């Protein structure tokens, strides 16, 4: 069997040089992003093959993504090129010490993805299928495809991983997002990833007990709490793993790297605490660069990082 199948939208990111506000007259630097594209590259760099399921525009950005995936060992054979729609974009601005994102993704190539694109996809040949709230929020057709993908994956007996990744701009309302995401989880999610900020924004409480009570049937729940670390509920156990202290340049993509690390370690047979610590290391290393990919680590880098911090509790 192959390891991973990821479904979602790649996005080209633009950053102001030097961490400035885009409201200023500053130079802008391009990077490659999109949560599931980051994930696909992340697990590939950690030594796990991943097939990416999406659509890109017939534009320089779409061609650039294909070259990026090839360079990182991501299987893009299931990526379609849309002759009429464009690849999505996002812009990052640093204001008051925090970053904010502005998206230009309406009617993007990926948003036109629908159930038809699932035809012929051998879901049962993958050990784990990963998608996110962003995957489900792209459009009505993409939502239908994502939910059907979960159904087919469960029927095939493979793992389903869902990162909530709630972005309010994608949804008609908070209640709509909460309903769709809850429905997706109910179909049969095995590993659910969510942040404390997302829980609060969706009205789902604030702690691990709240999310566990809401989704008692999910085998593994991962609550990401930024610099406060991560809390996990799995196998009837609950535990927390602290974040590693590193010189943080940018946190964009850290959650995607965490998912990559956690799921990679899980497929390798690691127990949840070990998988969470490995994932925390991958996320920390990503934070030392600008954008999601500049410092997204390879396996040897994570292993070396953990060896150097062998005494870390």
Higher pLDDT, 95 or 238: 238
On whether the CB atoms of residues 105 and 90 are closer than 8 A, the answer is: yes
For the chain, percent of residues with pLDDT exceeding 70: 99
Model confidence at 96: pLDDT above 90? no
CATH number, domain of 271, equals 3.40.1190.20
For the chain, percent of residues with pLDDT exceeding 90: 89
Model confidence at 313: pLDDT above 50? no
* 313 occurs within a structural domain: no
Model confidence at 254: pLDDT above 50? yes
Mean pLDDT of the chain: 95
Q: Which pLDDT score is estimated for 101?
A: 84
Closest CA to 127 of 161, 164, 77: 161
Looking at the 3D structure of the chain, how many domains does it have?
A: 1
Range of the domain at 84: 2-308
* 54 occurs within a structural domain: yes
Q: Which pLDDT score is estimated for 17?
A: 76
CA distance 121 to 127: 14
* 88 occurs within a structural domain: yes
Establish how many alpha carbons lie within 13 A of residue 164's alpha carbon, considering only the half-sphere containing its beta carbon: 28
CA distance 99 to 234: 32
Closest CA to 135 of 258, 7, 34, 12: 7
* 274 occurs within a structural domain: yes
Q: Which pLDDT score is estimated for 312?
A: 47
What is the three-state SS of 10-64? CEEEEEECCCCCCCCCCCEEEEEECHHHHHHHHHHHCCCCEEEEEEEECCHHHHH
Model confidence at 127: pLDDT above 50? yes
Burial class (CB in 10 A: 0-12, 13-18, 19+), 73: middle
Could you tell me which residues come within 8 angstroms of residue 11 by beta carbon, excluding any fewer than 6 positions away?
33, 34, 37, 87, 88, 89, 90, 103, 105
Instruction: State mean pLDDT over 277-285.
Output: 98
Model confidence at 74: pLDDT above 80? yes
Confidence of residue 84 (pLDDT cuts 50, 70, 90): very high
Instruction: State mean pLDDT over 65-94.
Output: 96
Q: Which pLDDT score is estimated for 309?
A: 87
- How is residue 255 written in tokens? 């959650």
Could you tell me which residues come within 8 angstroms of residue 308 by beta carbon, excluding any fewer than 6 positions away?
none
């Amino acid at each position: 069997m192959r390891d991973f199948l990821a479904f979602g939208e790649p996005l080209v990111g633009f950053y102001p040089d030097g961490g400035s506000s885009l409201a200023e007259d500053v130079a802008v630097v391009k990077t490659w992003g999109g949560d599931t594209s980051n994930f696909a590259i992340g697990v590939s760099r950690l030594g796990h093959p991943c097939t990416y399921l999406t659509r890109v525009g017939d534009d320089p950005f779409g061609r650039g993504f294909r070259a990026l995936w090839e360079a990182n060992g991501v299987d893009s054979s299931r990526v379609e090129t849309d002759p009429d729609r464009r690849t999505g974009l996002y812009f990052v601005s640093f204001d008051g010490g925090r970053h904010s994102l502005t998206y230009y993704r309406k009617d993007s190539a990926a948003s036109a993805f629908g159930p038809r694109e699932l035809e012929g996809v051998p879901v049962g040949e993958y050990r784990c299928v990963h998608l996110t709230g962003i995957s489900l929020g792209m459009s009505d057709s993409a939502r239908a495809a994502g939910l059907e993908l979960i159904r087919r994956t469960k029927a095939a007996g493979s793992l389903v991983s869902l990162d909530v990744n709630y972005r309010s701009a994608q949804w008609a309302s908070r209640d709509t997002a909460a309903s769709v995401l809850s429905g997706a989880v109910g179909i049969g999610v095995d590993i659910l990833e969510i942040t404390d900020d997302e829980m609060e924004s969706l009205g789902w409480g604030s702690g691990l007990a709240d999310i566990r009570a809401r989704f008692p049937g999910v085998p593994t729940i991962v609550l990401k709490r930024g610099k406060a670390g991560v809390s996990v509920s799995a196998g009837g156990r609950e535990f927390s793993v602290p974040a590693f202290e590193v010189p943080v340049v940018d946190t964009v993509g850290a959650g995607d790297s965490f998912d990559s690390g956690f799921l990679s370690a899980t497929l390798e047979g690691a127990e949840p605490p070990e998988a969470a610590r490995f994932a925390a290391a991958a996320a920390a290393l990503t934070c030392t660069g600008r954008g999601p990919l500049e410092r997204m680590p390879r396996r040897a880098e994570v292993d070396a990082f953990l060896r150097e911090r062998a005494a870390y509790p």
